[in-house]
Amino acid sequence: MNFDAIIQPVLDFVREHEAWAPVIVFVMAFLESIVGLSLAVPSTPLFVGVGALIGASNLAFWPIFAGVALGGFIGDWASYWLGIHLKDRVMEWKTVKSKPQLIERTKAFVEKWGMAGVFLGRFVSPIRSFVPFVAGMFQMPFWLFQIANASSAAVWAYVLLAPGAALLRDYVG
Protein backbone atom coordinates (compact mmCIF):
# COMPACT_ATOMS: atom_id res chain seq x y z
CA MET A 1 0.00 0.00 0.00
CA ASN A 2 1.31 3.45 -0.91
CA PHE A 3 0.98 5.39 2.35
CA ASP A 4 2.34 8.57 0.73
CA ALA A 5 -0.89 8.75 -1.24
CA ILE A 6 -2.80 8.82 2.07
CA ILE A 7 -0.60 10.99 4.27
CA GLN A 8 -0.51 14.28 2.33
CA PRO A 9 -4.27 14.40 1.59
CA VAL A 10 -5.03 13.72 5.26
CA LEU A 11 -2.61 16.43 6.39
CA ASP A 12 -4.14 18.84 3.87
CA PHE A 13 -7.61 17.95 5.18
CA VAL A 14 -6.52 18.60 8.78
CA ARG A 15 -5.03 21.97 7.73
CA GLU A 16 -8.17 22.99 5.82
CA HIS A 17 -10.50 21.91 8.64
CA GLU A 18 -8.43 22.93 11.64
CA ALA A 19 -11.50 23.43 13.86
CA TRP A 20 -12.17 19.72 13.42
CA ALA A 21 -8.54 18.65 13.86
CA PRO A 22 -9.06 17.05 17.32
CA VAL A 23 -11.95 14.98 15.97
CA ILE A 24 -10.06 14.00 12.82
CA VAL A 25 -7.01 12.81 14.76
CA PHE A 26 -9.28 11.02 17.25
CA VAL A 27 -10.80 9.00 14.41
CA MET A 28 -7.38 8.27 12.89
CA ALA A 29 -5.95 7.11 16.25
CA PHE A 30 -9.05 5.05 16.99
CA LEU A 31 -8.96 3.26 13.63
CA GLU A 32 -5.21 2.75 13.91
CA SER A 33 -5.72 1.02 17.25
CA ILE A 34 -8.38 -1.46 16.12
CA VAL A 35 -7.01 -4.92 15.48
CA GLY A 36 -6.92 -5.56 11.74
CA LEU A 37 -7.57 -1.96 10.71
CA SER A 38 -4.25 -0.76 12.06
CA LEU A 39 -2.38 -2.05 9.05
CA ALA A 40 -4.26 0.38 6.78
CA VAL A 41 -3.59 3.54 8.84
CA PRO A 42 -0.03 4.93 8.76
CA SER A 43 -0.32 6.60 12.16
CA THR A 44 3.31 7.41 12.89
CA PRO A 45 3.94 9.59 9.81
CA LEU A 46 0.42 11.05 10.05
CA PHE A 47 0.77 12.16 13.65
CA VAL A 48 4.34 13.39 13.19
CA GLY A 49 2.99 15.39 10.25
CA VAL A 50 0.13 16.74 12.35
CA GLY A 51 2.72 17.75 14.97
CA ALA A 52 4.56 19.66 12.26
CA LEU A 53 1.28 21.34 11.25
CA ILE A 54 0.82 22.43 14.87
CA GLY A 55 4.28 23.93 14.89
CA ALA A 56 3.89 25.69 11.55
CA SER A 57 0.40 27.08 12.10
CA ASN A 58 -2.07 28.23 14.71
CA LEU A 59 -3.33 24.75 15.57
CA ALA A 60 -3.64 24.26 19.33
CA PHE A 61 -1.46 21.42 20.67
CA TRP A 62 -3.48 20.21 23.65
CA PRO A 63 -6.86 19.57 21.94
CA ILE A 64 -5.09 17.62 19.20
CA PHE A 65 -3.01 15.76 21.78
CA ALA A 66 -6.24 14.86 23.59
CA GLY A 67 -7.81 13.62 20.35
CA VAL A 68 -4.84 11.35 19.54
CA ALA A 69 -4.50 10.03 23.10
CA LEU A 70 -8.24 9.43 23.54
CA GLY A 71 -8.59 7.80 20.12
CA GLY A 72 -5.68 5.45 20.87
CA PHE A 73 -7.04 4.67 24.34
CA ILE A 74 -10.57 3.87 23.15
CA GLY A 75 -9.27 1.95 20.12
CA ASP A 76 -7.09 -0.27 22.30
CA TRP A 77 -9.98 -0.73 24.71
CA ALA A 78 -12.13 -1.86 21.76
CA SER A 79 -9.42 -4.30 20.63
CA TYR A 80 -9.18 -5.65 24.20
CA TRP A 81 -12.97 -6.07 24.26
CA LEU A 82 -12.91 -7.83 20.87
CA GLY A 83 -10.24 -10.19 22.22
CA ILE A 84 -12.43 -11.07 25.19
CA HIS A 85 -15.49 -11.75 23.03
CA LEU A 86 -13.84 -13.38 20.01
CA LYS A 87 -11.21 -15.46 21.80
CA ASP A 88 -12.78 -18.82 21.04
CA ARG A 89 -13.32 -18.01 17.35
CA VAL A 90 -9.96 -16.40 16.64
CA MET A 91 -8.07 -19.68 16.48
CA GLU A 92 -10.38 -20.75 13.62
CA TRP A 93 -9.58 -17.74 11.43
CA LYS A 94 -7.68 -18.62 8.27
CA THR A 95 -4.87 -16.13 8.90
CA VAL A 96 -4.42 -17.33 12.48
CA LYS A 97 -4.50 -21.00 11.47
CA SER A 98 -1.75 -20.34 8.94
CA LYS A 99 0.41 -18.50 11.52
CA PRO A 100 -0.62 -19.63 15.02
CA GLN A 101 2.78 -18.51 16.33
CA LEU A 102 1.57 -14.90 16.12
CA ILE A 103 -0.96 -15.53 18.88
CA GLU A 104 1.44 -17.63 20.92
CA ARG A 105 4.33 -15.15 20.67
CA THR A 106 2.12 -12.22 21.55
CA LYS A 107 0.58 -14.18 24.41
CA ALA A 108 4.06 -15.03 25.73
CA PHE A 109 5.09 -11.36 25.40
CA VAL A 110 2.01 -10.15 27.33
CA GLU A 111 2.37 -12.86 29.99
CA LYS A 112 6.08 -12.14 30.47
CA TRP A 113 5.87 -8.35 30.54
CA GLY A 114 2.29 -7.78 31.74
CA MET A 115 1.41 -4.10 31.95
CA ALA A 116 4.83 -3.11 30.62
CA GLY A 117 4.17 -5.29 27.56
CA VAL A 118 0.89 -3.51 26.88
CA PHE A 119 2.60 -0.15 27.39
CA LEU A 120 5.56 -0.98 25.11
CA GLY A 121 3.38 -2.76 22.54
CA ARG A 122 1.77 0.54 21.58
CA PHE A 123 5.13 1.74 20.23
CA VAL A 124 5.79 -1.31 18.03
CA SER A 125 3.90 -0.75 14.79
CA PRO A 126 3.32 -4.31 13.57
CA ILE A 127 1.86 -5.47 16.91
CA ARG A 128 0.35 -2.18 18.14
CA SER A 129 -3.29 -3.24 17.88
CA PHE A 130 -2.61 -6.93 18.32
CA VAL A 131 -1.29 -6.68 21.91
CA PRO A 132 -4.57 -5.37 23.41
CA PHE A 133 -6.51 -7.95 21.42
CA VAL A 134 -4.39 -10.80 22.79
CA ALA A 135 -4.50 -9.27 26.29
CA GLY A 136 -8.28 -9.53 26.06
CA MET A 137 -8.19 -13.04 24.59
CA PHE A 138 -6.13 -14.33 27.48
CA GLN A 139 -7.99 -12.33 30.11
CA MET A 140 -5.40 -9.88 31.33
CA PRO A 141 -7.04 -8.20 34.36
CA PHE A 142 -9.14 -5.26 33.19
CA TRP A 143 -7.65 -2.55 35.42
CA LEU A 144 -4.05 -3.60 34.78
CA PHE A 145 -4.77 -3.39 31.07
CA GLN A 146 -6.49 0.00 31.36
CA ILE A 147 -3.69 1.56 33.43
CA ALA A 148 -1.14 0.50 30.81
CA ASN A 149 -3.52 1.52 28.03
CA ALA A 150 -4.18 5.03 29.38
CA SER A 151 -0.58 5.81 30.25
CA SER A 152 0.81 4.50 26.97
CA ALA A 153 -1.83 6.39 24.94
CA ALA A 154 -0.79 9.68 26.55
CA VAL A 155 2.93 9.07 26.09
CA TRP A 156 2.42 7.80 22.53
CA ALA A 157 0.41 10.90 21.53
CA TYR A 158 2.98 13.23 23.07
CA VAL A 159 5.98 11.46 21.52
CA LEU A 160 4.45 11.63 18.05
CA LEU A 161 3.13 15.20 18.16
CA ALA A 162 5.49 17.19 20.36
CA PRO A 163 8.76 17.11 18.39
CA GLY A 164 7.28 18.62 15.23
CA ALA A 165 5.14 21.04 17.20
CA ALA A 166 8.07 22.29 19.27
CA LEU A 167 10.75 22.36 16.59
CA LEU A 168 8.73 24.03 13.90
CA ARG A 169 7.13 26.51 16.29
CA ASP A 170 10.62 27.61 17.36
CA TYR A 171 11.81 27.67 13.75
CA VAL A 172 8.78 29.41 12.26
CA GLY A 173 7.91 31.66 15.22
d(CA 45, CA 126): 14
Q: How many domains does the chain have?
A: 1
CB count in 10 Å sphere of residue 53: 21
Average pLDDT, the chain: 86
Confidence of residue 168 (pLDDT cuts 50, 70, 90): low
Least confident range of 56-60, 124-128, 155-159? 124-128
User: What is the extent of the structural domain holding 83?
Assistant: 4-172
